[in-house]
Structure 1
Amino acid sequence: MDGLRALAMLGVLYVHYWNKNPTTEHLRVSLFFVVSGFLITQILMTAKDRGGHINIFNFYVRRMLRLFPALIVLVAFGVVFDMDGFRALAIWPMLQASNIYFAMTQNVTPWVTGHLWSLNVLEQFYLLWPIVILLLPIRRIYVLLLAIIGSMIFLRANANALGIDGWWTFFVINADPIAAGALACLLMRVPAVASVIVSRPALAAAVLALAAPFFLWDGLGGSLSYRVMIQPALAVIVCGAYVGYRGPIGWLLGNKVAEFISKISYAVYIYHLMIWWLVAQWFPALWDTGPMTFAILTAISLLAATLSWYVLEQPISRLKQHFPTAAFGVAKLPKSAFPAAA
């Protein structure tokens, strides 16, 4: 799971710093969403298993302790340097609502917060998801997740007929991959189903679905159909990572470097456009995307995120131990209940 988070983050840097029009347009954000939906549902269901008690207040406090330190750094730099008019609009990222502001104004301003839309969609989902997990029986949660996935896809597919502006479908109506990750987490709790999800045929089908634009046609990667079909494919890969892959894939996704990059990936994501803006003030040539820009700015972003992790985020994150999501009970269903992934 650490490796997948690291890959999603590096995919974002590749697109922003190097190639603005990748063949697999929706892959990186969808992977981030599916991983996040899976992990947060695992946390909440584990808490529910422990006597059926979820401390929702503590859940929100833990999210704030993880999210706000790096975000406050971004806001502070944005206000001090007034990056792209940041000072007048700083309230939107602090409210986790930049995506709504972009949709309302049909403009990604300030530019250095343009990437926050995906985090905002995720946090808006998280705002209600603990309550859903706490109050609904699991059968109804299945139904709700299918309804979320189906309705989001329906609204995007028929946006023109329904009079929904494309800015809203891109920046707001975009929670179906998160729901797909949550659904995958629940399905993994059924061992008979889990054994199919993590099987070699399922993995092979998932890889083929993700690679389809490379052997069919390039335009497929930016289409709604690709955006839909990669959700179950990514869910299969995420479930396999949760159980654990063998061989080179397992080493690639589970080594210490991947683990560390995963730890700092949030700060890398938060800071990377701010870093681009700051560095390019001194070296304007780096406004041009390409391999040199990618190499230099990725290195600076990783260094900044590492410093942020040790000096700011990790010390604050330790406070989470005082705010447990679950107070008592049994452990989660162990991974040993499932066969190892291919």
Structure 2
Amino acid sequence: MPPRLGMIKHLKGLDTLRALAAVIVLVDHVEIIKKENNIRNYIDNPSLIYPDGHLSVILFFVISGFLITYLLLIEKEKNGRINLKNFYWRRILRIWPLYYLVLFLSYFIFNPDYSFGRILLSVLIFPNVAFAIRETWDVSPQIWSIGVEEQFYIVWPLLFIFISKKKKALFYIAGLIIILTLLPFGLKFINLVFFKSEEFYTIISRFFYGTKFNCLGIGALLGFIFFKNKDGISKILLTYNFLTIIFTLLPFVLWFFKFKTEHLNDELYAVLFAFSIYNIVRHPKINIDNAVTRFLGKISYGIYLYHWTIIILVVKYMPKYDAFYLYNLLLYASVLGLTIFISWLSFVTYERFFLNIKKKYEFLNKQQKSD
């Protein structure tokens, strides 16, 4: 049986996966910003292979859908219900403080000339919608994925309460995933037949490029499967250890060598990531954690949100060296060092302040229930 509430303090492997995703995003964005500043970069070098940062976000989505669903199932089993107020309060205290701090800092540092609509959409945590209509918060554009996750967190608990009461909950989730996957194709078909609008086509493409609720749904489906812990799945994993390890590594090998499909590439990787996450968390012989990756995983939210601003400033103010490899060594050392330090400092001071409020709120809630 999987660990239950009270027993579960940490699911192994998740911090390491978060650390991996955050570092790959950072590397990808260093190269993008170098290219934007006409600095020799690895994007323009087709002979060099390194992972696509966009798939890091897909991995984050699958982990989020999995963990949130699993914790909701544990809460429902323990208490017989989901406390929506507590759920939303916990998410707000974890996500909003750093999101709004980075939003404010990036605006204050770079003082961009943004329209009211662009500012409003990002303040209301709809940066993915702003991206779709070409109103990207480009002084810190990675915030679009935080908007996607927050929108998922608002809607999913409500759907979860309905779906979890059904005997065939897995089929309902699978149905939602299929609908969300087919939705952009349906909208494009309607546009092609009735409107023939290039602008509408572009908005659909840009919106669904990042707003992968179906990938979060794949994570949610994984959460249900992991919670139910079907004996058949566990027996197969333990019986065929070698194959299990091969398929656990498969998405990361494909990712590193930039394997892509023309359609549904993110969805394919989401399914493969889900399989890997299940094995990494569940299989007793697979352990990818160590002290460094656990540390980086804990501060990965800060790494993800701070790194863009740090890269821009380092690229702008660090001296340019003719020696390409020396420049890159100093650039990456500076960006990684500063991002990790600032993310750690933020975590133990600013973020911890709000996390402590969350803990006090949860403690008071437990006390009220016991009284």
The 1:298–1:196 alpha-carbon spacing in structure 2 relative to 1, beyond 3 Å, is: farther
- Report the equivalent of 2:139: 112
- Report the equivalent of 2:128: 99
Following superposition, the deviation at residue 154 of structure 1 comes to 1.8
Asked if 1 retains the 8 angstrom alpha-carbon contact of 2:65 and 2:218, the reply is yes
For residues 311 and 296 of structure 1, what CA distance do their matches in structure 2 show? 22
Q: Identify unmatched segments of 5+ residues in structure 1.
A: 329-342
Q: Which moved more, 1:18-27 or 1:178-187?
A: 18-27
The one-letter amino acid paired with 1:221 is K
* C-alpha RMSD of the superposition: 3.0
The 1:158–1:255 alpha-carbon spacing in structure 2 relative to 1, beyond 3 Å, is: same
For residues 75 and 244 of structure 1, what CA distance do their matches in structure 2 show? 40
Sequence identity, in percent? 25
The one-letter amino acid paired with 1:7 is L
The one-letter amino acid paired with 2:153 is Y
Tell me the TM-score normalized by structure 2: 0.75
For residues 169 and 57 of structure 2, what CA distance do their matches in structure 1 show? 24
Work out which of the residue numbers 9, 17, 21 in structure 2 matches 1:4. Answer: 17
Matched residue pairs, number? 317
Deviations 1:1-28 (A, max 9, x none): 1111111111111211135586653531
For residues 193 and 86 of structure 1, what CA distance do their matches in structure 2 show? 55
Deviations 1:53-87 (A, max 9, x none): 21111111111111122223212213323443358
Following superposition, the deviation at residue 206 of structure 1 comes to 4.3
- Report the equivalent of 2:155: 128
The 1:265–1:122 alpha-carbon spacing in structure 2 relative to 1, beyond 3 Å, is: same
- Report the equivalent of 2:206: 167
- Report the equivalent of 2:80: 52
Structure 1 segments, 4+ long, off by >6 Å, are none
The one-letter amino acid paired with 2:302 is A
The one-letter amino acid paired with 1:178 is L
Q: Identify unmatched segments of 5+ residues in structure 2.
A: 1-13, 32-41, 192-200
Work out which of the residue numbers 215, 224, 241 in structure 1 matches 2:280. Answer: 241
Following superposition, the deviation at residue 47 of structure 1 comes to 0.7
Following superposition, the deviation at residue 51 of structure 1 comes to 2.7
- Report the equivalent of 1:267: 302
Q: Which has the higher relative contact order, 1 or 2, with Cα contacts under 8 A spaced 6 or more apart? A: 1
Work out which of the residue numbers 334, 350, 355 in structure 2 matches 1:317. Answer: 355
Asked if 2 retains the 8 angstrom alpha-carbon contact of 1:5 and 1:265, the reply is yes
Larger Rg: 2
The 1:228–1:116 alpha-carbon spacing in structure 2 relative to 1, beyond 3 Å, is: same
The 1:117–1:318 alpha-carbon spacing in structure 2 relative to 1, beyond 3 Å, is: same
The yes-or-no answer on 1:15 pairing with 2:15 is: no
Work out which of the residue numbers 223, 228, 239 in structure 2 matches 1:185. Answer: 223
Asked if 1 retains the 8 angstrom alpha-carbon contact of 2:84 and 2:157, the reply is yes
Following superposition, the deviation at residue 298 of structure 1 comes to 1.7
- Report the equivalent of 2:7: none
The 1:229–1:76 alpha-carbon spacing in structure 2 relative to 1, beyond 3 Å, is: closer
Asked if 2 retains the 8 angstrom alpha-carbon contact of 1:271 and 1:301, the reply is yes
Asked if 1 retains the 8 angstrom alpha-carbon contact of 2:237 and 2:283, the reply is no
Following superposition, the deviation at residue 125 of structure 1 comes to 0.8
For residues 274 and 281 of structure 1, what CA distance do their matches in structure 2 show? 11
Tell me the TM-score normalized by structure 1: 0.81
